[in-house]
Structure 1
Amino acid sequence: MQTQVIFNIMPDEADDQHAHWHQACVVAADHYRNNQRVYIYTQNQADAHQIDELLWAFDPDSFVPHNLVGEGPQNGSAVEISWQAPTSRRPILINLTSTVPDFASQFSHIIDFVPADETLKQQARERFKACRQWGFNVDTKTLSVKQSSTG
């Protein structure tokens, strides 16, 4: 099965360097509601803890079961967050790092983001090229400011 990659292009109005983190939480929640297990991969431990906190607070009307890798139930919650390679199989990877992780091909779907910030946008272009070179099926989706869900 060929890995499907979607690069979500953040609107220029979303100029906060971490605006895509909120969108990542929305995407994780959507996949959880569709009974899909998600792995959120972050650049470092501090980012993983920030995403963990965001998932607690981003939508007060809905709870998304999540944990940092090594915490929570034996097989992890529906959404796992880590800065390290996964130890269990999940179909969906949300990549919040500056590169395409070495283990990316073990996922059937990868969600990535193209932030409005120029430096981060250039890093996203490099990830896009890398995904194509790996033979992944790569597509883009432009998000609007009011859009709250992606697939």
Structure 2
Amino acid sequence: MNAGAVMPAVAFHFNVPERRGYVCRLLRKAWRSGARVVVTGEAAMLAEVDRLLWTFEPLEFVPHWRGAGVDAVPERLRETPVLLLEQHSPALGHDVLVNLGHEVPPDWQRYRRVIEVVSRDEFDRDRARARWRRYGAAGAAIEKHEAGGA
């Protein structure tokens, strides 16, 4: 992190019953608010989110692009508000990182906000606890949200 830079806010969304649908709704809300978001995770999860972003709401579309990494984003699509990337990078100026992976992403400190979406699955919860500890050890302020809560 650069000297003088502000540590990003980290928010954990726990007990999410269905991660992919939850992420789609989260991305729709972020896009409507004008945020630019990178979603990172395993290829299979990103493929499912990509598919659902086309179908989860019949009369709406969340502008997005899916690929391996930021270098693969075509020039004409670099302003796309939602990027689904296996290898993320804040290089295009996106300010929010949604992590669907099991590890803390490298360069997470370069975003303004990091969101972790955690299912009810015990393995997922275990890995989230480890990520919580890593963010906390780095000095991040962590927020906890329960899915379905106010």
TM-score range, shorter chain: 0.7 to 0.9
- Distance in 1, Cα, partners of 2:117 & 2:62: 21
| Deviation, structure 1 residue 115 | 1.1
Which of the numbers 46, 61, 77 marks the counterpart of 2:59? 61
| Deviation, structure 1 residue 135 | 1.2
- Distance in 2, Cα, partners of 1:48 & 1:10: 20
| Deviation, structure 1 residue 24 | 1.1
Which of the numbers 67, 71, 77 marks the counterpart of 2:80? 77
* Corresponding residue of 1:8: 13
| Deviation, structure 1 residue 46 | 2.7
| Deviation, structure 1 residue 80 | 0.4
Cα contact 1:40–1:96 (8 A) shared by 2:
yes
Amino acid in structure 1 at the alignment position of 2:27: A
Cα contact 1:67–1:76 (8 A) shared by 2:
no
* Corresponding residue of 1:105: 109
Computed over aligned residues only, the root mean square deviation of the Cα atoms, in angstroms, reads 1.8
When residues 25 and 84 of structure 1 are mapped into structure 2, their CA distance, relative to the original with a 3 A threshold, is same
- Matched residue count: 139
- Distance in 2, Cα, partners of 1:99 & 1:46: 16
Cα contact 1:10–1:20 (8 A) shared by 2:
no
SS in 1 for 2:87: coil
- Distance in 2, Cα, partners of 1:80 & 1:123: 24
| Deviation, structure 1 residue 40 | 0.5
Q: Deviations over 1:24-44 (max 9, x none)?
A: 11111101001110000012x
Cα contact 2:65–2:83 (8 A) shared by 1:
yes
SS in 2 for 1:10: strand
Equivalent residues in 2 for 1:1-151, closer than 5 Å? 1-10=6-15, 14=17, 19-43=18-42, 45-69=43-67, 70-71=72-73, 73-86=76-89, 87-144=91-148
- Report the more deviating stretch, 59-68 or 94-103: 59-68
| Deviation, structure 1 residue 104 | 0.5
Amino acid in structure 1 at the alignment position of 2:147: L
Structure 1: any 5+ residue segments left out of the alignment? none
| Deviation, structure 1 residue 57 | 1.2
| Deviation, structure 1 residue 76 | 4.1
